[in-house]
Amino acid sequence: MATLTDEISRRRTFAIISHPDAGKTTLTEKLLLYGGAIHIAGAVKSNKIKKTATSDWMEIEKQRGISVATSVMGFNYGDYKINILDTPGHQDFAEDTYRTLTAVDSVIIVVDVAKGVEQQTRRLMEVCRMRNTPVIIFVNKLDREGRDPFEILDELEAELKISVRPLSWPINIGAKFKGVYNIYEHSLDLFTPDKQKVSERVEISDVNDPAIDEAVGEADAAKLREDLELIEGVYPEFNVEEYREGLVAPVFFGSALNTFGVKELLDCFVKIAPSPKPTQAEERQVKPEEEAFSGFVFKIHANMDPNHRSCIAFVKICSGKFERNAPYKHIRSGKTLRFAAPTAFMAQKKSIVDEAFPGDIVGIPDTGTFKIGDTLTAGEDLHFKGLPSFSPELFKYIENEDPMKSKQLEKGIQQLMDEGVAQLFVNQFNGRKIIGTVGQLQFEVIQYRLLHEYGAQCRWEPISLHKACWIESDNPEALAAFKKRKHQFMATDREGRDVFLADSGYVLTMARQDFPEINFHFTSEF
């Protein structure tokens, strides 16, 4: 019988993140192929909401359905149990991605060799850095013309603000791409541009083996040796502890589409990536090996069927063993709940599970009980931290269009905010409700869902806002003075925290200058 510790140490829970089109979906699919979770390429649908589909609601609903199915992909690989948490590709749903990152123990970042570090990768990396999440970088599309690998490494280091350490190295790139030398295992894989055929491995003793010259030609072999010497000179030896502390990111090169360099990535990943780590609760740190179950809700997904307003709450297990039908305490309400039909996703199939372990995600059917960030335990009062809200980018007043349906509107707004679709602020001066989002698409989603799921109609009215920032101070008098002076621009968030609505960057700068005792925060957790 495997013990709890065995179950924990074999688990690897991670997310793949990238700027759209770098190859996240393709890489995910290839990992699933290796795990035997799928058998043919093309089985994983991209959950990208293509730009052209923004006004096509059925399309968005369909896409949402796909993303439920691919929310968590669990499979066994050798002795390991791997859980890949999917993140939405569309940047308007970046907040979803941030929250998913709170439920993973590590991350693989995919970068396009021609494009290098792009905007969304940079932002997601900031979230990883905040949490010291270990990252591995996969430089993709080596079969296409792209940039010099050394240049890419410099860019990764500068833009992602993390030390890098190549663990594999390409021999040429684009049309002349011949393969990858695996620095981690001292092996050589030759590239065959064929999606059906996996690469050919050349047995070599070390980098000086003449078999390399035979396989790739003398000139390329010499260049490879030169490059490797330079790498050894410039980059310190790879240290797995530094990687696990989030200080250094190992880098692999390959081509996801050609299933090239993917197995090397996966084999190294399972060896070095961390198993579930302790989770910080407000009260104390919770270790995965603790006997008593605990977990938190990091995502709530609305049902596709508008007639049944049920959702799936995704719970990340932090400690102990989760058991079906066992009594668990829902900390926010204080109620004891039993879950008769928790689901897990294994090998692309959703099925009811009897038990699950730290690192696993279970889906719990929900009819409005859960809110993002809720904690469940075997009885202890714990509140898991680390689900910050970020200051939204776009703001609009939400108004009721149908006075007969104000209750429905209220309820709809509440539940959509519980799901984490957007953020609600109430202006303390005029009592008006303001919805903040990271993208235009969310306003459309909210309006559509309010109508279709709650029968309520809303109207958006413009508000000119630069940022919403959470404020606090050690000096209660300074805080009171600030709130008095800025009373027209003060709001509260759903937890009742003070939020300052700055209508321009200038106003914010001035406020910071004039009120040095006030701290302004751009995330809700500080």
Contact 524, 470 (CB under 8 A): yes
Q: Which of 9, 13, 26, 423 binds ligand G4P (CB under 6 A)?
A: 26
Q: Which residue, among 93, 86, 153, 88, has the nearest Cα to 117 in the 3D structure?
A: 153
Alpha helices, DSSP H, located in 437-496 = 440-454, 476-485
- Residue in 411, 316, 398, 321 with CA at minimum distance from that of residue 367: 411
Identify which of residues 135 and 315 has a Cβ nearer to ligand G4P in the complex.
135
Q: Which is nearer to ligand G4P, 24 or 316 (CB)?
A: 24
Q: How far, CA to CA in Å, does 459 sit from each of 326, 398, 399?
A: 44, 6, 5
Q: Measure the CA–CA gap between 376 and 338, rounded to whole angstroms.
A: 11
Determine, following the binding rule CB under 6 A, whether residue 277 of this chain makes contact with ligand G4P.
no
What residue type is 215 in one-letter code?
A: A
Closest CA to 87 of 125, 54, 46, 53: 46
Question: Least distance (Å) from ligand G4P to the CB of residue 377?
Answer: 36
Q: Does 25 bind ligand G4P (CB under 6 A)?
A: yes
Q: Is 342 in the site for ligand G4P (CB under 6 A)?
A: no
CB of 28 to ligand G4P, least distance (A): 8
Answer whether 466's CB lies under 8 Å from 503's CB.
Answer: yes
Judged by CB under 6 A, which stretch of 21-29, 332-340, 451-459, 492-500 contacts ligand G4P?
21-29
263 binds ligand G4P (CB under 6 A): no
Compute the least distance from the CB of residue 20 to ligand G4P, in Å: 4
Nearer to ligand G4P, 33 or 331 (CB): 33
Strands, E assignment, 358-479: 361-366, 375-377, 394-400, 423-427, 433-437, 458-462, 467-472
Helices (H), 106-256: 119-130, 149-160, 210-216, 218-234, 240-244
CA-CA-CA-CA dihedral for 335, 340, 343, 344, to nearest 10: 90
CA 431 to mean position of chain CA atoms: 34
CB of 169 to ligand G4P, least distance (A): 17
Binding characters for ligand G4P, 77-116, by CB under 6 A (x = yes): ------------x---------------------------
Which span (23-31, 130-138, 203-211, 458-466) binds ligand G4P, by CB under 6 A? Answer: 23-31
Piece of 50-58, 163-171, 252-260, 394-402 that binds ligand G4P (CB under 6 A):
252-260
Tell me: does residue 524 bind ligand G4P (CB under 6 A): no
Answer yes or no whether residue 74 interacts with ligand G4P by CB under 6 A: no
Cβ(72)–Cβ(100) under 8 Å? Answer: no
Stretch that binds ligand G4P, among 135-143, 161-169, 271-279, 295-303 (CB under 6 A): 135-143
Q: Does 144 bind ligand G4P (CB under 6 A)?
A: yes
Q: Answer yes or no whether residue 257 interacts with ligand G4P by CB under 6 A.
A: yes
SS3 category, 300: strand
Choice from 11, 24, 277, 486 touching ligand G4P (CB under 6 A): 24
Of 121 and 303, CB closest to ligand G4P: 121
Q: How far is the CB of 101 from ligand G4P (least distance, A)?
A: 16
Minimum distance from CB of 140 to ligand G4P (Å)? Answer: 5
DSSP labels, 212-259: HHHHH-HHHHHHHHHHHHHHHHHSPPP-HHHHHTTSEEEEEE-BTTTT
Could you give the string, one character per residue 37-56, with x where binding to ligand G4P holds by CB under 6 A and - elsewhere? ---------x-x--------
Q: What is the CA radius of gyration of the chain?
A: 25
Interface positions with ligand G4P (CB under 6 A): 18, 20-26, 46, 48, 89, 140-141, 143-144, 255-258
